[in-house]
Amino acid sequence: MKNENWFKWYPGRFKADTMHLSVEEEGIYRRLIDHYMETAQPLPNNLQALARIAGVTVDHIESCWPVLSAFFQLGQNEKLHLKLCDELVS
């Protein structure tokens, strides 16, 4: 299933959850959320794949990942899940 049109966005919730992020970390996180919602699939548990999705270098995502990883849960399918995205997709 692919959601090509739109999805609910909660700017207040996003802002509350991400105030501690740098602008770069926030941008990467937002691109990962957008990809998650566009594909209606959890993300790969692979920094090289995440870097491609976010449009950054592997070195860049590696430097940001210690902070960003706190937002994701590793599912039984070995994919990275975001609770709100899973709720919206289902």
pLDDT in tens, 35-85: 998 898 999 999 999 999 999 999 999 999 999 999 999 998 999 998 888
Q: Hey, what are 78's tokens?
A: 């070995």
Q: How many CA atoms lie within 13 A of 54 on its CB side?
A: 27
pLDDT at 64: 96
Task: Give the DSSP letter string of 66-79.
Answer: HHHGGG-EE-TTSE
pLDDT at 90: 80
SS3 80: strand
- DSSP element (H, E) containing 72: none
pTM, two decimal places: 0.84
